[in-house]
Chains A and B, each alone.
Chain A
Amino acid sequence: MLGLIKGLNVTLKNMVKPKVTYNYPQEPLEMPDRFRGIQYFDPDKCIVCNQCVRVCPTDCISLTGKKNPDPNQKGKVIETYNINFEICILCDLCTEVCPTEAVVMTNNFELSTYSRDELFKNSEWLFANDENIRSENTLNPIPVKKPTGGTPS
């Protein structure tokens, strides 16, 4: 009997404690800086090194590059860049290997749509997703020549 009364006491005390729930859809949730949300992609920085495609554990990234239109510059520029968010697990490996921080994480996480097709995001959409970009990204930046072609953003 005593244990039950103690329990009743605990629940009564908790009744007047401040509430811990968030008013989420009305008030946006603030995520810490390191939060792994939807990627932001900057086509101007990309050097088409293909590392993100190779490291992706779920093969959700696909990209194609083309020769740099400027005949004086070497290397390639990005033509298409798609991330399939149906299978992306937001594991952070692509941003980890990207040497130029072309693909970085943002704090945005709202991905729900009415159609699965809408989860296939192209480079324009990813470029437009430019809010709340994470400040620290690549772990071991590899010194590469500054990407050529296009203006740095």
Chain B
Amino acid sequence: MIRTEEMLLNVGPQHPSTHGVLRLLVKVDGERIVETEPVIGYLHRGTEKLAEDLTYTQIIPYTDRMDYLSAMTNNYAVVHATEKLMGLEIPERAEFLRVIVMELNRVASHLVWMGTYLLDIGAMSPFLYAFRDREQILDLFNELCGARLTYNYMRVGGVKWDAPKDWIGKVDHFVSYMQKQMKEYHQLVTGNEIFIQRTKGIGVYDQETAINFALSGANLRVTGLNWDLRKDAPYSIYEQFTFDVPVGEVGDLYQKYLCRMKEIDESLKIVAQAVANFPSEGKIMGKVPRVLRVPEGEVYVGIESPRGELGCHIVSKGKDKPWRIKFRRPSFYNLQILPTLLKDENLSNLVAILGGIDIVLGEVDG
């Protein structure tokens, strides 16, 4: 009689495929996973608590560091919540700039996901191609707001900088370049038989499970539910643009990949429309008092970040600092489903499923 023993495998926090400092305590039986327990908190910085001691303007650079792959959407979440509470009017030009940078940031974020996901699966080149193309977005952002990752671009009432000369033209050029590059990615990755083998039918969950786990973003849409806050609870000027929300059918990793790739296409479409209709002149800051005193009250806004519903809940007591601020960080909620998905899977699928969720540890740990 062969006696087998379960083995406790400690994956992370220093492991190449945990996308930062996630730690997973995995019980394995041979290569089959019996149980997984994620341990988080290695990157906890207490953003929400710190924010209670900061003015609304000072919070913005802190949000850059939550989901550091799409700092623009984080900026927007806190700025939008504050504006909603104060009832501010935002100039049209500022809204256009916001939409352009947020959608470009979504493209950049999905590119990083695509690259690192293939790196998890074992292909090296798509990673560097994705970073090559993302670099162009970062250069555009660098020109616009002077930073490549932590933009600190948006302000309550508008944006900090107007578009520099020729910048809009460069964005337009990038959109057509990226649309061409997408074909190359599809040739390199989408049809690759090994990639399909690794992802098709893996990590499947149905719509009900997804809703019960409060998943959002591509993780939810892949199950076939058409739920995109840009359409379903429109903010900013998204109502002006025509775009589709890509949804999947079966909720496996391959469709997640396809969903995200299509989201890049849709984001590029939005950017192209925004560039075409970009107001030739106008202010970029609305009428905002010098010291922001937000009236007493509560507000919750949810926006569609690349990872899902990014919420910002502010409780104000009428001071220049929030009494309490709470971010609904999509990566954190999406991560909850991991132990369920990993049960009875092969150890090789661990990185594939974890990568498919698309977490950013800065956001998970807050």
Contact = CB atoms under 8 A, between A and B. Distances in A.
Contacts of B135: 20
B143 A57 contact: no
Given A3-B193, A32-B142, A34-B145, A57 B54 contact: yes
Interface stretch (B10-18, B26-34, B55-63, B353-361): B55-63
Interface string A3-31: 11011011100100000100000000001
Given A3-B192, A7-B187, A93-B58, A139 B160 contact: yes
29 contacts: A1-B193, A3-B193, A4-B192, A4-B194, A6-B191, A6-B192, A7-B187, A7-B191, A7-B192, A10-B184, A20-B135, A32-B142, A32-B146, A34-B143, A34-B144, A35-B147, A55-B58, A57-B61, A57-B62, A89-B61, A91-B64, A91-B152, A92-B146, A92-B160, A93-B58, A93-B61, A93-B152, A105-B146, A134-B146
B68 interface: no
Interface residues of B, number: 37
Nearest to A96: B160
A71 to B, nearest CB: 32
Interface residues of A, number: 30
Contacts of B62: 57
A1 B129 CA distance: 22
Given A1-B193, A7-B187, A96-B160, A20 B132 contact: yes
Interface in A96-150: 96, 105, 134, 139-140
A20 B147 CA distance: 20
Nearest to A92: B152
Nearest to B132: A20
Given A10-B188, A11-B188, A89 B150 contact: yes
Interface string A74-95: 0000000000000001111100
Contacts of B144: 34
Interface of B: 54-55, 57-62, 64, 125, 129, 132, 135, 142-147, 150, 152, 160-161, 164, 184, 187-196, 285, 290
Given A55-B57, A93-B61, A35 B192 contact: no
A35 B146 contact: yes
Given A35-B142, A57-B62, A4 B193 contact: yes
A11 B188 CA distance: 8
B118 to A, nearest CB: 11
Q: For chain A, what secondary structure do more than half of its interface residues adopt (helix, strand, loop), or is it mixed?
A: loop
B86 to A, nearest CB: 18
B139 to A, nearest CB: 8
Nearest to A89: B61
Interface of A: 1-4, 6-7, 9-11, 14, 20, 31-36, 55-57, 89-93, 96, 105, 134, 139-140
B7 to A, nearest CB: 34
Most chain A beta-carbon contacts within 10 A, residue among B152, B194, B290: B152
Given A11-B125, A32-B146, A34-B164, A2 B191 contact: yes
A10 B192 CA distance: 12
Instruction: List the 3 closest A-B pairs by CB distance, nearest first.
Output: A3-B191, A91-B61, A57-B58
Contact of B57 (A11, A20, A93): A93
B173 to A, nearest CB: 16
A13 to B, nearest CB: 8
Contacts of A3: 190-193, 195-196
Given A34-B145, A92-B146, 19 more contacts: A1-B193, A3-B195, A4-B194, A6-B188, A7-B189, A32-B146, A33-B164, A34-B143, A34-B161, A34-B164, A35-B147, A57-B54, A89-B61, A91-B150, A91-B152, A93-B57, A105-B146, A139-B285, A140-B290
A33 B161 CA distance: 12
Contacts of A90: 147
Contacts of A9: 187
